[in-house]
Chain A
Amino acid sequence: MQTNTQGRAIVVGASSGIGAALVRRLSAEGWSVAALARRASELETLAKECGALTRVHDAKDFDAVPELFEGLVRELGGLDLVIYAAAVMPKVGRDEYDTPKDLEMVAVNLGGCIAWCNAAARLFRTQRSGTIVGISSIAGERGRKGNPVYGTTKAAMNTYLEALRNRLAESGVHVCTIKPGFVDTAMTQGMGKLLWLVSADEAARAILAAARSRANERFVPRRWWLVGTAIRSIPSFLFRHLNV
């Protein structure tokens, strides 16, 4: 596609929020970027705004991934970076146990991540270079009352990405797990006043910095590390009484 660029990247889950901000930042830095998302209209805006290559894709459509991946890598003329940023977090009531709703989160947040990162892992391992970034969440640190399966998908993602990192390290491939706190996106709309809220662009800047420095796991902003560490150390018999 283009020569003389910083690199070539695929961002899955790019229609809004952190994903869209990452596409804008990468494009501005001179990367060739392919952006994928479910909503065509948002992608169109993104394409117009920063010239990204776009594809409409539902992260639950795992079977479509190998062909899409191949087509995009061919069009980009190679691949250096994959960012999986697709996620859904529907509102879940205090006494709600809704299996279809929960499995939708598993499919989008975790299933899609595995489908895309596996495809990337095969290419990166064989070419002995590349970076995979997974946008997880602070929500994966503990099983909280609020949204059991959202946290579960993020915890599973953390373990999966860690395993990929360990597998691919000897091939010179890096895998970076990002754990954002509250980011000002559609996902956090209507949640009231949130602690340490940062803009999507600010988050995107921190994520790319983490990937560049080959961080294994990075809280965004970094001060969430304190919260993550604290929250993990609370014993279960106390944690169940907390309203977090």
Chain B
Amino acid sequence: MSANLRQLLDLPTRAAPRRSFEYVEGWGMSAGERRRVLRPASVEELRALLARARTEGQRLALRGTGCSYGDASLSAGGDVLDLSRMDRILEWDPARGRASCEPGVTIEKLWRTILPDGWWPRVVPGTMFPTLGGVASMNIHGKNNYEVGTIGDAIREFEILLPNGELRTASREHESALFHAAIGGFGMLGVFTRIELETKKVHSGELEVRAVRAPNLEFALEHLESQRDRCDYLVAWIDAFARGRALGRGLIHEARYLEPGEDEHPEETLQLAHQDLPAAVFGVPKSEAWRALRLLNNDAGMRLLNAVKFHSSALEVWKGPYRQAHAAFAFLLDYVPNWKFAYGRAQQRGLIQYQVFAPRASAAALYREILERCQRARIVPYLGVLKRHRPDPFWLTHALDGYSLALDFKVAPERRAELWKHCEELSERVLDAGGRFYFAKDSTLTPAQAQRMFPPENLARFRALKRELDPQNLLQTALSQRLFGEFGAQSS
């Protein structure tokens, strides 16, 4: 920005956020474009950027570390506002387990700060790299969703900078509407500048983990149901290639926190060094392991890999309960860095994740149908994951009393249109069954499907609040454009 323009806009001279021009893509790589990226390092710089956006009518797409699989942090024709430089932990109270953080603090930075004091984030996703601003905007869940809810349930309070430059504080008691709309509000209402979280007291750096083999889908669902009172975490891996009576076979991992005294040396297990993920996978250095996976990244290879994983799990089941560090259990997706490259590194390739949330009653039939349809269409997901969920009070939540099945589909240019159509058709069946989807994962929903997915009154309230807080519709993403257009607002 020139000095003159700076004076004209009355911006502080020091507030010159970093700016660059980059290829910005979703984590799954199937969508991306070259965009200007702005990286403020302070609330002051952020204010200046919003002021300029208002003056110029420039659209901004909020982004953290870009861990959403699809287009949730991509921009539709505007700039990208990357908040990852605002990454200070403002306050950590080890007596009460409360952390107050800037939006760019990652889950990794959070757990590394609090674990030595005997605390663990109440909710973490399968990777430690997302930012708190991102996980709050997407209202992410973990493998304990059925027990503790989403990340929103662990947030006490936040500060949010509205597009008009106003800074507001919201909690369950104060500004309750804003609180319940902005969490899960996919970055449409404002920019989180401070997020205060409650964390979980732990008496060991390890969990007790047990593996259980599921011979089919029904067994897996039934097990997630029957064990939910007994376990703190439950997750099932599903082999989507298995057919017939073995349809939906897989491996369930259940875990529980250790009670005080169970771990005789908590001072050792709570140390960060005890949490390191393995440095090599089957003897291959981690950073290069994706190249090995690349060789198997086709239907035949993945059918084989899934089968080998299922059958070799007998060993893990046989050895019985074992102890595992929190990080090793929670962040399975981080074992092989850049494993997504196994799906192809070229732009617009990669993968999409299709995660279906289904009510308890209809889940079994729906998931069976989905897996069968995938196999019939020869569009078989290379990875399937099953989890148990519970409802929460956030306006645009994806969670419900039921289950989710997350499926990773390979994106190949020659079959891209076919894959999107396939997912679109599946989505109709999901919505018929009362199911929902999740913006952090979505790539394929249509505007009509997004309309059907939420209780109509929630969506209407959200639209009204968006128009009130962001009348110029400055905050937009490729996802918001794809599903909601201009939110019924006057385009600036």
By a CB distance below 8 angstroms, the chain A residues around B23 are 123, 126-128
Q: Give how many A residues have a beta carbon under 8 Å from the other chain's beta carbons.
A: 14
Chain A 118-137 interface 0/1 with B at a Cβ cutoff of 8 Å (1 = within): 01001100111000000000
A66 interfacial contact with B, CB 8 Å: yes
Q: Is the beta-carbon distance between B21 and A119 smaller than 8 angstroms?
A: yes
Specify the chain B residue showing the minimal Cβ separation from A73: B21
A96 interfacial contact with B, CB 8 Å: no
CA distance A66 to B19 in the complex (A): 7
CA distance A209 to B70 in the complex (A): 39
A30 interfacial contact with B, CB 8 Å: no
Q: Is the beta-carbon distance between A66 and B345 smaller than 8 angstroms?
A: no
Task: For residue B414, give the distance in angstroms from its CB to the closest CB of chain A.
Answer: 20
Q: Is the beta-carbon distance between A70 and B36 smaller than 8 angstroms?
A: yes
CA distance A244 to B21 in the complex (A): 43
Q: Is the beta-carbon distance between B21 and A123 smaller than 8 angstroms?
A: yes
The answer to whether residues A126 and B25 also contact, given A70-B36, A73-B34, A78-B34 and a CB cut-off of 8 A, is yes
A69 interfacial contact with B, CB 8 Å: yes
Q: Is the beta-carbon distance between B347 and A127 smaller than 8 angstroms?
A: yes
Considering the complex, which residues of chain A in the window 104-149 have a beta carbon less than 8 Å from any beta carbon of chain B?
A: 119, 122-123, 126-128
By a CB distance below 8 angstroms, the chain A residues around B287 are 170
By a CB distance below 8 angstroms, the chain B residues around A70 are 21, 36
Q: Is the beta-carbon distance between A69 and B21 smaller than 8 angstroms?
A: yes
B221 interfacial contact with A, CB 8 Å: no
Chain A 147-191 interface 0/1 with B at a Cβ cutoff of 8 Å (1 = within): 000000000000000000000001010000000000000000000
CA distance A66 to B25 in the complex (A): 20
Q: Is the beta-carbon distance between A123 and B34 smaller than 8 angstroms?
A: yes
By a CB distance below 8 angstroms, the chain A residues around B24 are 126
CA distance A224 to B422 in the complex (A): 60
B22 interfacial contact with A, CB 8 Å: yes
Task: For residue B90, give the distance in angstroms from its CB to the closest CB of chain A.
Answer: 28
The answer to whether residues A172 and B22 also contact, given A70-B36, A73-B34, A123-B34 and a CB cut-off of 8 A, is no
Could you write out 9 A-B pairs with CB less than 8 Å apart? A66-B19, A66-B20, A73-B21, A73-B34, A122-B20, A123-B21, A123-B23, A126-B22, A128-B346
What residues of chain B have their CB less than 8 Å away from a CB belonging to chain A? 19-25, 34, 36, 287, 345-347
* 6 nearest A-B residue pairs (beta carbon): A127-B23, A70-B21, A126-B23, A126-B22, A122-B20, A66-B19
Known contacts A123-B20, A123-B22; can you find 14 more A-B pairs with CB under 8 A? A66-B19, A66-B20, A66-B21, A70-B36, A78-B34, A119-B20, A119-B21, A122-B20, A123-B23, A123-B34, A126-B25, A127-B23, A128-B23, A128-B345
